[in-house]
A and B are shown apart, each in its own frame.
Chain A
């Protein structure tokens, strides 16, 4: 079996922290697109 990064084999706390980190990055991308398009005309 090949080791797979970022999977269920990590313990619960480590996984939670990683999930939150991923979500924050994705939410920042969304916020950047929103503000970028909104502020372009100001």
Chain B
């Protein structure tokens, strides 16, 4: 696709406000995207430190470093912060930066709503941090917030519930903005089936968010009223049922997995064609596969709770429905591989992360299939096998994709090129330490080590020592990433408008690097 007429008149009159108020009051999608990405990175560091507290305690059996209650709160807030604070905002940051530029719009549909969506995040993060200092310490309940434990916790639980409400509001408003932008703000000629794959994945993800974030809000609201208003939604003594919470939570929780994964697929679908110098193989099938994954994600929630005791017919249904998701996911993986097939490949850092994603996410997908098998899951439920599985999906899937996306678009966003050599070192350190940290967890899980415990039997010692070494290596490697990004912004070499010769979406073909503060005030014509 190409822009049919120019926009040179846009460059002369960029008025960029300065000072702190630029960031507080901004309605510019690029500024808001930048804030999302930096917020996400700071939460990634915070959640990462919590992970390292967990791994430090688990380095050896026995209790060495932290109290068990504090350990439990670390597992809880590590999960909440990484899911809601780090990964989701990272992809919303990408969406803010890229969607308007990729569809030829001047900004998001609701720029002020966009500002509000972002500025709800820091107070929510603050509540999650303050919860650590509430009387009795942080809630030690796990990110899934299951009652009855959550009903019995101290004040930290209320702060956490409030934080989840705020994060949910932010996500819903962000999604409304994204869908409206994609449906109504496309440049003339940009039909839906011409949208870059990243935009398609966000359109689908935003619908998922609108459907399930209110469900999570409903679930935690019921927790709140059970705690303070004497309702008995989840209390058997009053006619309630704690299993109800699990059903409602996972009706949110499983689509949530795809809310994280699908934009990651979108980023990968932009990177692989660019470095294969070929168009994406099977564009239409990618769109339909993504939509199928999204629809199926609503129909499989109870595979997270096989052990609560459900009818065998229900177990069979959820098992087969879960396995069905492998079909559209397989379509996507094969399409990525087919895009690379006979392509003119080169392996710059974004492509390394994309190929790393392809290998490791597929491993995570296969262990997901293993876990979908009910009789196996009854054995593996709440073991480290599950922890290994979802870290392959969340870290090697979503985080690798986010890293790849940052390296891919950093030259566009900043107008400066990152240090390729350092980028490659960052990739290999991340890739190797990730596998050291998490591959062994498959084995400790198969051997029966339960998750969310600060102490364990002696037979798991070696696996845990290896995993902790990998985790610390992984965490330290991310400081290199911070250094690379800061170095790029401050002193990177000047990037070309089309830094990657195979990149073909509008931000590369129609806008300079960096793009003007206000781009596409006159919409481009798409042929």
- Report which A residues bind B (CB closer than 8 A): 1-4, 6-9, 15, 18-19, 22-23, 26-27, 29-31, 33-38, 41
Contact = CB atoms under 8 A, between A and B. Distances in A.
A34 B240 CA distance: 19
B429 interface: no
A6 B184 contact: yes
A37 B527 contact: no
B466 interface: no
A7 B218 contact: no
Contacts of B105: 8
Contact of A1 (B184, B213, B215, B525): B525
Nearest to B247: A37
Contact of A26 (B189, B210, B221, B240): B210
Contacts of B185: 7-8, 15, 19
A26 B179 contact: yes
Contact of A7 (B109, B188, B211, B251): B188
Contacts of B177: 23
For the complex of A and B, the 9 pairs showing the least CB-CB separation, nearest first, are: A34-B214, A37-B218, A8-B523, A33-B214, A38-B218, A9-B188, A7-B186, A22-B180, A26-B176
A33 B190 CA distance: 32
A33 to B, nearest CB: 4
B506 interface: no
B233 A30 contact: no
Prevailing SS type, chain A contact patch: helix
Contact of B217 (A4, A8, A34): A34
A37 B219 contact: yes
Given A19-B180, A19-B184, 15 more contacts: A1-B526, A4-B188, A8-B185, A8-B186, A15-B185, A26-B176, A26-B179, A26-B210, A30-B211, A30-B213, A33-B214, A34-B215, A37-B248, A38-B222, A41-B222
Contact of A2 (B180, B191, B212): B191
Nearest to A31: B214
Contacts, number: 93
Interface of B: 104-105, 109-110, 172, 175-177, 179-180, 183-191, 210-215, 217-219, 221-222, 233, 240, 244, 248, 251, 523, 525-527
Contacts of A1: 188-189, 525-527
Given A1-B525, A41-B233, A8 B188 contact: yes
Most buried by A among B177, B183, B184, B213: B184
Contacts of A3: 188
A37 B220 CA distance: 11
Contact of B184 (A22, A33, A34, A36): A22
B188 A38 contact: no
Contact of B189 (A4, A34, A36): A4
A31 B215 CA distance: 10
Nearest to A16: B109
27 contacts: A1-B188, A2-B191, A4-B190, A6-B183, A7-B187, A7-B189, A7-B523, A8-B105, A8-B185, A8-B523, A9-B523, A15-B184, A18-B184, A19-B180, A19-B184, A22-B109, A22-B179, A23-B109, A23-B177, A26-B210, A27-B176, A29-B210, A30-B211, A33-B211, A33-B218, A34-B215, A41-B240
A23 B177 CA distance: 7
Contacts of A27: 172, 176
A6 B218 CA distance: 33
A26 B188 contact: no
A8 B211 CA distance: 27
B247 to A, nearest CB: 10
B172 A30 contact: yes
Contact of A34 (B179, B218, B233): B218
A4 to B, nearest CB: 5
Contacts of A26: 175-176, 179-180, 210
A21 B81 CA distance: 34
B347 to A, nearest CB: 37
Contacts of A38: 218, 221-222
A23 B110 contact: yes
A23 B180 contact: yes
Contacts of A7: 184-190, 523
A22 to B, nearest CB: 5
Contacts of B218: 33-38
Contacts of A22: 109, 176, 179-180, 183-184
Nearest to A22: B180
A23 B104 contact: no
A2 B251 CA distance: 40
A23 B240 CA distance: 36
A41 B110 CA distance: 35
B525 A19 contact: no
Given A37-B219, A38-B218, A29 B211 contact: yes
A7 B104 CA distance: 10
A21 to B, nearest CB: 9
Nearest to B109: A19
Nearest to B106: A8
A25 B123 CA distance: 28
Contacts of A8: 104-105, 185-188, 523
B479 to A, nearest CB: 39
